[in-house]
A and B are shown apart, each in its own frame.
Chain A
Amino acid sequence: MDEYPAGSLDHNVPFLLALGTSATATYGAELIASLKDQAVLIRSELPVLDTEQAHALLRYIQSRDASKLPCNARDAPTKHRFRVKTAERSILLPPRRARLPDGIEAPPTAALHSPYSPLSPISPLYPDGIMDAQWIRKHQDLVPSVLLCFYTLTADPTLATLCDNQIKTDVNNIRGLLSQSGYKSKVAVVFLSDQGARLDHLQERLETLRRGCGIDPKLSFFVSPNDSQEELERMGENMLTTLYTVSMEYYRDLGRHCRKKRGRGIAPQPTVPPTSGTSQTLSLAGWNVRYDFKSAIFAEFRAEMDVALRSYEQAYENLLSSELMEVIPSWSPRWNDARFLADVIAVRCLRCMLWNGQHSAAARRWQVHRDRIADFLDRRSRGTRNYGWEAWEARWAIVMANLVEKAQIPDFAPETLKLFLQPEKSAMGERLQPWEHLHHPGYWYRLAAKHTQSRRAFAHQIPEDDRRSPGASPASHVAKSAFAYDTYMCPDPYEEYPLNHAGVDHGRMIIERLMKAREEFLARDQFRFAAEVSLECARELGLVKEWDKMVEILLPLWKDMAFRTEGWIAIADELNWSLRTAAVAVANAELVLAVDWELLSRNFPKRSGWHYDITKSLEGITLESKPTVSIPDGRILPFISTTFLFKDEQGKAGQSVKSQLLIKSNAHQGSPPIVLSGVGVKFTGSLSQVLIKHQEGDSSEQKHGSVSVSSVDLARSAPESDLTSSDIRLNGVANLTLAPGQTLVFNLDIPLREPGETQANSLTLRLETEAFDLEQSLNFPERNTHNFWYISASATKRMTRPDPRVIKVLPRPPKLEVKCPTWKEQYYTDEAIHLDFELVNGEDIEALAKLDVTLFGESPPLFTVNFPDSPEEENKEKTSTNIRSEESSLIGASLGSISPSKSSVIYLILPPIDRPTQFDLTIKVTYFLSTNPGTPITQTDVYQLNILNPFETNYDLLPRVHPEPWPSFFDTDGIPNPHPDDPSLPIPFKGLCQTWSLQTRYASFTSEPIRIHDLDVQINSPLTIRCSAIKSSSTPPLPDNPIIIPPQQIHSTSFSLSAQKLSLDDRSPTPLDILFVIKWSRTTSNSSDSATINTTYLPIPRFNLFGTEPRVLATTTTTTSKDYITLQIWIENASNHFLTFGLSMEGNNEQFAFSGPKSITINLLPVQRKCVEWRIVPFVDKEENDEEKEEEKGKWVELGGLVVRDKYYQKVLRVVPGGEGVRLGKEGGGGGSLEVYVPTAAGRKDKE
């Protein structure tokens, strides 16, 4: 906006002139020289007020100056708006009527006109100009709407009248001069009084003065001498408000006058008809534009923006109409004047719109003006493809930016972060151009910069002939080129881009505008857009070779902007190359190296002709010292990618873990290989660093394609004595030559020291050359789906762990081993369990150990632990305690110290357990190493003790006939005498006797054969009977000759059981509890171990002896010499009753023949046994059988016909076998099913 003449675009504010106080600014200097001698001088004769109060008031009035306030309806004060100027005692006003210049004869009828009018020959507009900035300045700067005169009232009563008269004269003088001049400015007076003036007289004096001066009482003000600053300000405020209404009246009158003149509808004639040029005078249309413009300006003074806008638009339309601009030839200076006026009107229109909040309308108006002017130029003038047009475009954009700034739109405050405004209501819903959303000034500045760039481009196209100064060119050429260029508000071609000296500094203009734009973008968080502008700016700086500034502007972008990480490669590339160029120029080696390092990446497009050799980067740069560059991770897009993998998820302290470091180059193909001098891997946790140095010619390398795998031996660099140092560095060497596209894989064996989590953090690459040192840090990527473990150079395996950079190091495993050499698979009941435990110290040093033994299970027994190695006698044996019912334990038994690779032995002895059960035996050894006494190391072993019953048994109790005769009532000899005289002797048993045969069958359920030492029964008889058992004769195992039985095989033993009751009278059934006793030992135990014979007691289900029911027993007797068998049937009557039995034997069958009673009745007394005998001859075909069944020793023959019947109850009694050779037949029940064994001849022979 500054390029436009002063005052032409400024917002118009009512003009107040304060007269009569001292002020720094002198008034009247603005009056142009040619008018100075014609000017109207208004002078006040009184001295200048110099009191403190006058100054304070003036300062206040000046501080209320509204000319710099933002141009919008919201911020504008409503009470008063003044542009305040001050003058001491005299002012110069431009003449109302301009005199004719010398030498021009005026016709007598001619009227003189204002010097600013195109009618006056003195005006630059004469004769056909429309309007210029001078007229606006006249009203804004020269002719006040209100003239505010300051006077002082003297306090001295003697001088009062004199002074008052002087004031009266002065005011009248001013008013007279003013009315003579023709201006209608209002005069107002301020009276200030000296200290000590008496107030009662003052009122009177003031009244007199007002009357004497003829001033409207409204317009005279009095400041009391005693007024405080606050009262002064209040008074000043009231005064300005009053003056404002007067001022408004003044401008309204002027506007009315204008409209009246326009309403006449005729073009006034100039004072003197023009004689030069085309002799053309301003047309009526031109006058109308002038009047409309004036009306608009006066409306703007009145802050009536709607009215102003209407008038401006009218003036604009008329100006660009076919009657005015269309007829002005483009070579005429009036063409540019008209363009200028169009610009001014357009700017004022824009301001009115912004004032009213019509933002989109303003943006549209801005474009419309540009388009119309462009259209005009294209049609009527030199077109729009030249530097002049671009200069104007740039200016036009800046004007808009300035207007928007000046309007101070609240929505554009940077805090709102608004980039553009929504269209106002009236424009909503229309088809809007995007640009018609009013954007913030940054955009407009950038637009201006763009047009300036175009302007430069056009300027650079100016042919050389035109670039010479006119003095150096042939006149004909000057004449020719004079009208070829559009020089509206811009220099001629020989100034714009002179041939041999500097002309317009386009670069500086562009940079200035770009920087302004950048500020606006940054203020609104548009960092990326600001970066774009910065890039453009840097390019311009590069053109003018301001390298320092270029680096300054690009470096923050290069460091902080996310272009490269977000993948805007083209932008990052541009940034890199620009920065490199600048960095080379300022010899910033670090920057050059960093950029070159990044540009090696294949992510960036390859620039042909570039060497891509990092070692040549610093060629052509002179440096004082060898530069060292350290590039942190994330600063650049590195061409080297890296991963680090631990092979296992977990490792143990003290062991080492396999890991792989992978370094991959993504450098441009064809770039020379890079020889890294070293790489270092940093860890968190107990490891600190692994360093690999470069060494040529590593033979262990395994190559396949672009992949090379090698193993690196790592050695510890810290001295061994420094064991406690946490800073552990491991060193190795490998070939670190990295060709483009190559992948280096290093297998590392990393020892783990301390438990915890260890993570590989970052890789540091070092490149050391003669010219520089470069260091690049790379963090290992956190989530990498392509974690491949190189088994060999050609084979990979995918690592499925989520984060293979991390290894969990478990605590050092216990090396003290618990062994149990005598452990058996199976333990049995009734067996004392001896367990030997051997504690072997596998550590390198002595271990101080403690032992905890715990037995879990259902009521575990108390056990004993022997410590044979214990030096103290009382510690040799310890017994466990029961803490809870299911736990028996021995806690904290000291084992003493165990030397390395030695062992300590303990014996655990469990007492025999009498039931099958299950126990968990936990052996926990806690030990300390002398090197690390604070850290207990625990070894825990759990053994499961399964205790099983070794045997399974079943039993039968078979009745037998007791050989002794039953006592007889009639035989007193048979009844032993009691010993009444000696009570101490036991009462002899006189009761009934019975014999039984106890059949036991047992099988071992062990997993191995066991040795049976003895079998026995233990009888637990009640007191009423006596009972004894004798093992039957069939192969009895003897204690000195044990038998070995294999598992699961059934063995049987029988015992003969005889029992007698104490008393004969007692005939109730008696229960008998018997335990079967097996003495056994394991076959696996040594012969010397024979002492450990276990005794298992197996309870036999309870038997009942001695019933009162009669029983019938059958026995046989065979004789070897005879062919018959004697069958005895014993009938026992244990009851107290007399019983009668009928026995019968059927003889008519083919099985056998018999001799004896066929039917017999037997009477039995109470407690009597009787026997009936038969001889049985079986019909067996012995000869045939001998031949056919030689093997058979005998045969069972059924005695079908034998029936024993209770005569009284008519009940058949069961005949029970009572010895060998008789059994019950398969039919069961009834006497008929009794079978007897008939030995064959062979069987008999065997017996013999």
Chain B
Amino acid sequence: MAIRYNIRMAGVGGQGVVTGSHIFSTAVINAGGESTIVPFYGSEKRMAPVESYVRVSNEPIYEIGEITFPHILMIFHPQCITHGKSYTNPFYYGLKQDGIVLINSNNPMTLEPDQAAELKDLNAKIYYLPATQMSLDVAGIDLATNMAMVGAIGAITGLSNLEACGTAVKDRFLGKGFVVSGGTAALDSVVERKFKKKAELIDKNLAVVKAGWDYAVDNGWTLGASSMSDQTDAKAKASA
């Protein structure tokens, strides 16, 4: 049985949404799974909307392109919702029935009534992860927000493990390099300077990944046996 999650990651420029998607994708591959990523090329500037799409599975992935109908939606910045900083509006557009929304926020957000109602109709599970707070608490700066999100999605999907995530983070900062754009390269050097040493950077990032992972496990967000593809299957059988 194929396990398949199509994940849309939305955030704002500078948060490392594309970097996070790359690290998570690599982590799934490192753990023996299959994954592809597609970043959406928009204005690519700080605080402007950014989207990246990740497909993860335990079987080969053939299809390409942006993900219009995700199983899982990750919101890296509350402004994607409050300021409409998202290429897909409303932010949950296309979310599949019984889908998951993982939002970086310390507290549950008050959504607009019609949006809340639509999400309820979709039977969407909305999880709030204090990712930026975790980054500040564990790494001392907010730039590892994406690592907390990566940790949480790793735990939720169950197609990777912490060790594979660690290797992916190391690959990202020590390997040949995956340069998405000049802006990303410049930001990398800022991140490196802030952490003084690469080793420290990697350790701190991994600690944030683990914090996000543990938070997802502690809150019972992991999909485990009741994967969404099983639910699709059950629904199809019921309707057949």
On whether the two chains bind one another, the answer is: no
Q: B residues engaging A (CB < 8 A)? A: none
